[in-house]
Each structure stands twice: as C-alpha cells, then as structure tokens.
Amino acid sequence: MSPSLYGYLSERGPASPEEIASGCLGLGDLNGEARSVVERLVAGDPRFVWEGTLLRAADPLGLSLHEAPYVVFDLETTGSSAREGGITELGALKLVRGRVVDRFCTLVYPGRPIEPFVARLTGITDEMVAGAPPAAEVIPRFEEFAEGSVLVAHNASFDCSFVAAARGGCPLPNPVLDTLRLARLLVPGLRRYRLSALAAHFGVRQAPNHRALADAAATAGVFLHLVRLLRAAGVGSVGEALALRGGRRIPPQKHHLAEGLPASCGVYYFLDGAGRVLYVGKAKNLRARVRTYFSGGDGRRKIRRLVEEVASVRFRNTKTELEALLLEAREIRRLAPRYNTAGRGEERRWYIGFSRAEPYPVPGRVSSEEASEDLLLLGPYRSAGMVDACIEALGRIFPLRRCSGEGPPCLYGQMGRCAPCTGMGPGEYARRVVGGIAALLRGEEEERLDALRRERDRLAAALEFEAAARLRDLVSGIERLRLTRVLGTSTTPLAAVAPSTESGMVEVFAFAGGALLAHGSFEVEDERGLRGFAARARKVRRSGSGVDEARVVLSYLRRRSGLVEVSGLDELVAAVRRVGKTSSMVQ
C-alpha cells in the first residue's frame, strides 16, 4: 500500500471517502463522517479532484498553470558531472497558487571531496557536509515532498541528472519545467539568461547566491513572472507549457520610452496621450524596471493594455529604496491611477473572526465583505497570507476546539490541545482562548509567543531545520500582525528600531496613527542624538496622506533584516541598545 493518499489514488484510481478512510488512512468505520474527514484532508490541495462522490489524483499535465502545484528546487554539487560528482545541498519551495506553502532544505553528504573552486563559490566545505545525510536518504524525502507536483528548475537538465543518478539512473516521474528554456522562448533579446540575470530583469527580490534554498527562491520568483507571460501568450495548462517549441513570443514595443530614464532609485509614472497618469510604480533601477514593460517582461493582460495606452513616462528620483516605497504609496493614494490595484482606500481588509453562535469558536480568516454582527472580529489587517500564518500559529499556542468533545479524547486532546477534550467549559474557553488570542495580538501574553520561540530554537539545535523554519515563519506572522496593528492605530508616538545596513548603526522610525513622523540613523551609543530625535518626533504633526506608512516601512525592514523592535519614545535609548546587541550577535 502507498504511504500517501496521492500515491494510493494514483495506483488504485478514483475511490470513495469510505474506501480512502479504511484502505489508506486506516480509520475504519467513521459513522458517516468519512466524506467530511477526507474533504478536510484535501482541502485546497490541487493534486486532488472530486468527481461526484469519488476522489481521484489529478494529472499535473491537465492542470491550469495557475492551479498546478509546483516544487521549485535547486542543487549544489561537488562540481563535476552527475556521473562523477555528488549533491552537497538540496533546497526546494512548494508553490500553490503563487504562494510558498512549504520548504525543503538540507545539506547532503556527497561521498567525495568538493572541488576547491566550488567550495569557494558556494561556501559549502567538506567539513560542513561530513555529518549530513547521504543522497540515498535525502532523495526519497525529496520525492515524497514533491509527490504530485510539477518540478521547476533553472537549467533543469543539470539538476535532474544528479537526482536521477542518486536514484540509480531513474529520473523522478514528475513533469519538469525549465525556467532557462521558458525565458529564452518568452523574453527574447536578453544578453544573458543566467538565473542572476533573469532575477535582475524581472526585479525578483531574492538574489541567487549559490546556496540551494536561496537559488530556489530566486528561481521561484522568475518562474512566477514566466507563468504570467505564458498565460498572456495563450498557454493555459502545464501540458501546453511543456509542449512549447518556440514562436509564441510577446513582441517588444515602445523601447524608446525607457531610454531617458536614470539607472537609479525612484518612482515612475506612466501617462497617456492626454497627460493623465495611468500607473505609478517604484524601482531600485528606474531604467531597467521600465524596460521590462516594453520587452514583454510581465505579460499580464492588464499590463499589455497599459503598454498600449502609455504615451510618455515621467520619474522622480529618491535617495533610497524606502523613500521610493513611501512616495509610491502616497502618489497612488493621491492620484488613484486606473491601472494601480494596490494602495486604494477601498482595498480589501482581513480579520481574524470568531462565531458568536458557537460555544467553542475557532479563529478563521474573514474578509471585510464577510464581516457581520454574528462574528467577533480582530483586526483589520491587509494581508490574507499573514492572517493565515497567524491562525496556524495560534493553533500551536492555544487549545482550540478540534472535535465535539464527545467520546474519548481526540489526538489533539491527548496532547492537551483540544479544549472540549480537556474539560474546558465554554465560559473558560471564551476567557482563556478567545480573550488570550485578542490579548496576544494586542502585544500582551508574550510568554505564549516565547514558548513558540523556544521550540523553534530547540528544533534548530536538533538540526530539524525544516520544522524550525516553519515555526520561525509562524512566529514572524504573529509578530508582523502585532507590529502593524500597534503602529497603525496608536495615537501616541511610537518608535520602530531596526539594524542599519551600516555596521554599528541602527535606523529609527517614529510613527503615530500609521503616519511616519521622523526617521534617522544613529550609532548605538548616541544617547544624546536619540533623545533629540524623540523630542523632535513629539512635535511633528501627522500628515494627512491617508497612507499606512507604518505598514510600508515594516514590510521593507522585514525584507531587509527581519529584526524590528517597537518601543515608546521614552524607552527609545534602551530599545536601540537591545537591537544593537542582538544585531551584533547574528552578524
């Protein structure tokens, strides 16, 4: 019997929920609940398709490019061919509907020395891989991770040859898309098609650095841009993308509009023939970013219409990327350009909601359109993904309802993580669980979050890096929700402190009600300068731009370092010292 549901259905064919429950899951008779159990198990997983009352494994080739699950992966090797060399590191990201839902990363013992040049290039040494698992252990785990998904790699034949060699010459059964081949078909005219060149061309945030997970992330960013190009060119399914042989290219146009732009940071404006602003964007390199629009570099139908209407391009230089981000948000709010879908006042908001009608309500994501008096709502927040990560983390912190509580304790109840199973009554649940979640998101109940942090650190110390990374992301989700909420709603000036890109320096941002009051860079021991900054920030009147500048700044800081601390202006000196100390420890 296959150990996985996907493998079970692939071998057996379509099956009823009752057959799956008994034949694959080993659950026996579920008293009519088999359908609901299986539905929860496969919810949101595009690898499974319901056909009436039967569930089957989806054929990846028949799935649409948007719906198909992808595993984007990269290998580092000892430096020679698959026949003579070995794998030293494997990193992979699982993408579902454009979002990263899982990660896989491990060093691998190659069984032979790493070539000196490769060691210098990747930073991976013989000593680092000496205690790592061999490919014979890693590849089966990776095969399980990628089961039922479409594999994606840059110069895929190279990576796939090493995987096949580790499997005794047998390649994985998954279909494979190669970003190198797709880029050559869809983005003609580039001087180079290396991963770093494509990442720069598309403006991908993660730059490749010759480490497996980082390079997989860069490949994923490039691939998502290529998927937009494929869909714009009329390619709808994975099978159609695999069958491409050339000739379906998006013609370049209006290159001359990018010629006068500087290769510097700033904000650009696309205008129509009447001088009306159609679109506002920001870029680290204005010329390179704007060129992508006129070289088929995006491919979305909306962008094609935009390019057809653009008659001229204006720009404003900024000194830093952060200034460009803030200016972009303010200009979108002020001008409301027709082709901008973010930054408008009417954009969708998200809440963490609890049903008032249930004795043991569990948190769920609720959109602003779904909000009603029947729900207790915490929020609002701007990111659905961030809310989902937070809800998953809450399930690890609080004993949420996992079953009806009737009968013997469920699996979670045996671990003390199901309130009805532990004997907790509805009143106590409302106080301890619902009230505790609200307090945690207000910035209280810090000891509960500390427990997750300790578990994350324990897993990392035990070399369980995948589990540790997942907990890290969950903790980060809660921290981001809390920081965004606090800085966006507090009428009292607060400071956000983060390490600077300059060694020994920190950056300080003062906010009130989401508006940026002041910003400065300081040495960690510059107590006088920090007190002067706090005094000036207290005197600044809030701007009326209507932009949640705290959200923009926090997003920028977390992409850059991830370390951000919020404090009152009176505690600013102590907060700066803590951030400086923590930053020096991790550098």
- Map residue 134 onto helix, strand or coil: strand
Phi/psi for 190 (5° steps) reads: -75, 150
Provide the residue type at 252 as one letter.
P
CATH class of 70-242: alpha beta
Instruction: State mean pLDDT over 277-299.
Output: 80
Q: What is the pLDDT of residues 132-157, one digit of tens each?
A: 999 999 999 999 999 999 999 999 99
Instruction: State mean pLDDT over 386-404.
Output: 80
Please list the helix, strand and coil fractions of the chain in percent, rounded to the nearest 5, in that order. Answer: 45, 20, 35
- Map residue 568 onto helix, strand or coil: strand
pLDDT at 410: 85
Q: Provide DSSP, 350-414.
A: EEEEEETT-SS---EEEEGGG--TTEEEEEEES-HHHHHHHHHHHHHHS----S---SS--HHHH
Tokens of 472: 């890290």
Report residue 12's pLDDT band, with 50, 70 and 90 as the boundaries.
Answer: confident
Task: State how far the Cα of 380 lies from the Cα of 345, in Å rounded to an integer.
Answer: 13
Sort strands 515-523 and 350-355 into parallel, antiparallel or unpaired.
Answer: unpaired
- Map residue 105 onto helix, strand or coil: strand
Task: State how far the Cα of 354 lies from the Cα of 365, in Å rounded to an integer.
Answer: 9
Q: What is the SS3 string spanning 43-54?
A: CCCCCEEEECCE
The answer to whether the predicted template modeling score (pTM) of the entire model surpasses 0.85 is no
Tell me the C-alpha to C-alpha distance, in Å, between residue 495 and each of 290, 503, 530.
35, 20, 11
Domain ranges of the chain: 5-58, 70-242, 255-335, 350-478, 490-586
Are the CB atoms for 560 and 504 separated by under 8 Å? no
pLDDT at 216: 96
Domain 255-335 has CATH 3.40.1440.10: yes
Report residue 2's pLDDT band, with 50, 70 and 90 as the boundaries.
Answer: very low
pLDDT at 587: 47
Looking at 154, 210, 255, 519, which residue is catalytic? 210
CA-based radius of gyration for the chain: 26
Closest alpha carbon to 27 in 48, 46, 5: 5
Residue 486, H or E segment: helix 465-489
Q: What is the pLDDT of residues 77-120, one digit of tens each?
A: 998 788 888 999 999 999 999 999 999 999 999 999 998 888 88
Report residue 218's pLDDT band, with 50, 70 and 90 as the boundaries.
Answer: very high
Task: State how far the Cα of 104 lies from the Cα of 465, in Å rounded to an integer.
Answer: 9
Task: State how far the Cα of 408 lies from the Cα of 411, in Å rounded to an integer.
Answer: 10
pLDDT at 584: 61
- The 494-499 sheet, strands edge to edge: 515-523, 505-512, 494-499, 565-568
Q: Is 210 a catalytic residue?
A: yes
Residue 224 or 291, more confident:
224
pLDDT at 249: 44
Q: Provide DSSP, 40-90.
A: HHHTT-TTEEEETTEEEEPPGGGSBTTTS-EEEEEEEESSS-TTT--EEEE
